[in-house]
Amino acid sequence: MTKPRVLISDQMDPKAEQIFRERGCDVDVITGQTPEELAKILGQYDGLAIRSSTRLTKELIDVATNLKVVGRAGIGVDNIDIPAASVKGIVVMNTPFGNSITTAEHAIALMFALARQLPEADASTQAGKWEKNRFMGVEVTGKTLGLIGAGNIGSIVASRAIGLKMKVVAFDPFLTPERAVEMGVEKVDLDSLLARADFITLHTPLTDQTRNILSAENIAKCKKGVRIINCARGGLIDEVALKDALDSGQVGGAALDVFAKEPAKESPLFGTPNFISTPHLGASTDEAQVNVAIQVAEQLSDYLVHGGVTNALNMPSLSAEEAPKLKPYMALAEKLGSLVGQLAHDNLTQISIEVEGAAAQLNIKPITGAVLAGFMRRYSDTVNMVNAPYLAKERGLDVREIRHDREGVYHTLVRVSVGTSQGERSVAGTLFGKDQPRLVEIFGIGIEAELEGHMLYIVNEDAPGFIGRLGSLLGESGINIGTFHLGRREAGGEAVLLLSVDQAIPESVLRTACGMPGVKVVRALAF
């Protein structure tokens, strides 16, 4: 049997090459190639292990005729064209947890550097000055650390901060009260965190919901003199607003390891007093580089030799026999998870996945993974069916799987329920024609709809004239309606409207709809 061939195209710890050979792969280490040089040899390999230097573009993917899997030794995959890889059937993996301790420690190091003005004091002293009275720092002991994002890295930062006798408050939609107690932190909303924190550190992915989470408006809500650290993603902070806040004294100091545009050769923040910057060093320790090299080699070799899938960004964990039967169910499950995640995402304590009818005869694990992937994609830029269950567990979500042998109204049914501060909320769906996902119930109200593209969800009091007024609003705003679905509990009671539209709905239209008589909830959805 021919051994799988693997190319390591970026500098990587030698242990990676060793692991590939020990696990039955032939491996070549060829680094520093231009895209043109790489294109000439890439077609020879089944696997590719990279870091950040190699850019796997569509052009390279098109000539990589034998490539089956690419592994990124690290978490960021901006240098891989994942859609192009998916079209070609190439599995894309990363190693999202190998840098956790290193990144957390860098955040703590920057916090200390801000607290004691270490870079400026060092520069002053080495310049021959002795400005002992100029650099008056603050203790971290007894101070409040605001944690935006309490996942893997955030929880490590919290444990270090607690060891430093700091009080930690955390904002994370997925952090349950039980997990907060376990971590020793106080779960708060964002406004409360901003008002109370002496130091703020960010540990959340960059998504549409988290982009500029520290905007000018939110920075203004902070305690005057707050110190801000970001070792997560560029774009979480409005850098121009941060510059203004440093100049005015609203922010007492800021330390960024990441920038909206990298490499950050220029920035409005450069040269600003009380600002510290590092060139994306969160993962730059010997230990972290060894960890990610070992992990990427283990993952790629397991896939190439045994078919095992770990931390894949574009492939579910499925056997070849299960895939055809489960594929339509997974599509349904992901849409239901996404719907729940967009409609009921605050103060979540548990999520239940129930299957009945034909669905109860299948392997529920991939269905659960698909629900969780859809559910958490709103908040994470690297979530997938493989790592979604881990991320849910990490945040303390109680995930329950329930299989019913009973036959219901539908020949097959998948129901997703979440526990919220307002009680349980659930949605349910079935398959039409054995492979067409269809919503059939939302929060206790029967309604049949396809979940596709841009949609508008409205809860209102059932009354004459509402549909006409809403149609007029959308028409006057130039928004074309694709499909229109209605459901209600009873005549004159609470009604649900779910419609698809041809484009994203502007905020101004949502606000106007929210102000219409009888309207209780307005939410734009995207699938």
Same domain, 248 and 141: yes
**Global confidence as pTM:** 0.70
Domain residue limits at 206: 100-277
Same domain, 268 and 129: yes
* Cα separation values, 287 from 99, 100, 156, 175, 301, Å: 9, 11, 16, 29, 21
Active-site residue, 469 included:
no
So what's the pLDDT on residue 164? 98
The answer to whether position 265 is within a domain reads yes
**pLDDT tens-digit series, residues 279-293:** 999 988 999 999 999
So what's the pLDDT on residue 21? 96
Distance CA(391)–CA(373), nearest Å, equals 10
Same domain, 345 and 378: yes
The domain that contains 467 carries what CATH number?
3.30.70.260
Structure tokens at 317: 């964990």
Domain boundary among 403, 433, 463: 433
The answer to whether position 48 is within a domain reads yes
Same domain, 154 and 221: yes
Same domain, 483 and 357: no
The answer to whether position 325 is within a domain reads yes
Residue with tokens 């309207």: 519
Percent of the chain with pLDDT over 70: 96
So what's the pLDDT on residue 104? 96
So what's the pLDDT on residue 420? 78
Mean per-residue pLDDT for 59-68?
A: 94
The domain that contains 244 carries what CATH number?
3.40.50.720
Confidence band, pLDDT 50/70/90 cuts, at residue 83: confident
Same domain, 248 and 176: yes
Alpha helices in 117-248 (DSSP H): 118-126, 152-163, 177-183, 190-196, 216-220, 239-248
Same domain, 137 and 203: yes
The answer to whether position 446 is within a domain reads no
**pLDDT tens-digit series, residues 362-415:** 888 889 989 998 998 877 766 766 567 767 877 788 899 999 987 778 899 999
Backbone region of residue 522 per phi and psi (left: phi > 0; alpha: psi in -120 to 50; beta: other values)? beta
Catalytic residue among 233, 377, 395, 415: 233
Distance CA(522)–CA(86), nearest Å, equals 35
Work out how many domains the chain is built from and give that number.
4
Active-site residue, 280 included:
yes
Same domain, 250 and 137: yes
Active-site residue, 233 included:
yes
483: which DSSP letter? E
**In the predicted model, is pLDDT for residue 44 greater than 90?**
yes
Mean per-residue pLDDT for 7-34?
A: 95
So what's the pLDDT on residue 390? 67
The answer to whether position 439 is within a domain reads no
Please give the mean pLDDT across all residues of the chain. 91
Mean per-residue pLDDT for 150-164?
A: 96
Catalytic residue among 139, 262, 407, 452: 262
Same domain, 340 and 203: no
Same domain, 474 and 355: no
Catalytic residue among 72, 106, 280, 395: 280
